[in-house]
Amino acid sequence: MIAYWIQTASHAQLQGLWWFLCSVLGSLLLFLFFVQGGQTLMARVAKTAEERSLIANSLGRKWELTFTTLVTFGGALFAAFPKFYATSFGGAYWVWVLILFTFIIQAVSYEYRSKPANVLGTKTFDTFLLINGVVGVLLIGTAVGTFFTGSNFTLSSYNFVTWTSSLRGLEAAFSLFNLSLGLFLVFNSRALGAMYLINNIDFKGVEEFEERLRTSTLKNFLWSLPFLAWFLLQILPMDGFAIGENGEIYRQTWKYLFNLVEVPALALSLVAGLILVITGVVLTAKTEAKCGIWSSGLGTVLVGLTVFGLAGFNNTAFYPSKVDLQSSLTIYNASSTVYTLQVMTWVALAIPCVLAYVAYVWWLMDSKKMSVAELSNPDAGHMY
């Protein structure tokens, strides 16, 4: 049945499928930002070098998953929607270069922060991790915000991209709407990071550290709420970029509210996601439970699916041009050919196997909690 559907599916159906799959990857990335959020807690929540090492070694087991997911997300967009990849990554290159730079210094920091006699010193590498956790996540949030506010580009008849802003994508950071989404992601990732550390660390001998992490979970969640509220209050009445019957792009008032109403799955995903995030925070902050990361993590994925779904589904231009409306990109005019999408769909059938392998490796890595004793164990292997 699956083989028959792949062979007979229309181009539009395959385009919708791949926007959904790319949205899943993007939403999983938002969950995996708990690594970036946890890194920022080393500056204030951790009070001693021992506690900072606990954070680094707990997150060090997972940081590669975040980077791999980011690369996979970009690769999927390149293959499924090459015109978007060429437009955004080719035109707004300064913002993407900065994002890449923050992930490079993250990788270097985990490799060298605990090396004896390293030239820069542990504090420098910890500062690099802080930059990755704040600047990297903030810039990715502002980049996603341009799915709604638009970017400064035009496309010629030969799909040649002309970027009309000399800031090359950095102008997105001057939009309060984009910044609100970015700051929400920063504080949400900090809350997720605290919940993950509570789940992953054995706090024997450092019980006060656990209490500080539980307090930090609630604080960061509360700090994220004004930015989430501003994002939602702005997006619902916002003029969206709709696709007419002839493919013409036009502005439509309340477009994203209409998307929530006309695609009930998006509204359900948003409500369920917010409930799950709140549940995880309450479990962590008000009880002794250590499982809050799974509730809030799933909730973050569902909220992410809503954001990406609002941008691309229901005849909506997901990458609007503020300079020339008709240059705006949709899942229909930015995608690969039907043959390419069919081949990619065949390859995507292996996704459940990949996810099962990731879950198995995750379980192996977390089968033993990170502890103070392990930090000083010479047989524990590589320490970050």
Dump pLDDT digits (tens) for 203-245: 998 999 999 999 999 999 999 999 999 999 999 999 999 999 8
Residue 383 lies inside a defined structural domain of this protein? no
Quote the pTM value: 0.95
Domain count, the chain: 1
Give domain status of residue 99, yes or no.
yes
R_g of the chain, CA atoms, integer Å: 21
**Top-confidence residue, 90 or 151:** 151
Task: For 273-316, write each residue's pLDDT tens digit.
Answer: 999 999 999 999 999 999 999 999 999 999 999 999 999 999 99
Q: Is 309 part of any domain?
A: yes
User: 380 lies in a domain?
Assistant: no
Residue 9: other Cβ atoms inside 10 A: 17
Instruction: Residue 351: name the closest of 62, 74, 72 by CA.
Output: 72
To which residue do tokens 């000083």 refer? 376
Residue 169 within a domain: yes
Q: Is residue 381 part of a domain?
A: no
Which two three-digit tokens encode residue 237?
Answer: 């009445």
Cα separation, 209 vs 371, in Å, equals: 12
- Residue 98 or 373, more confident: 98
| Residue 178 lies inside a defined structural domain of this protein | yes
State the residue range of the domain holding 29. Answer: 2-375
Does residue 99 contact residue 8 with C-beta atoms inside 8 Å?
Answer: no
- Classify residue 247: in a domain, yes or no: yes
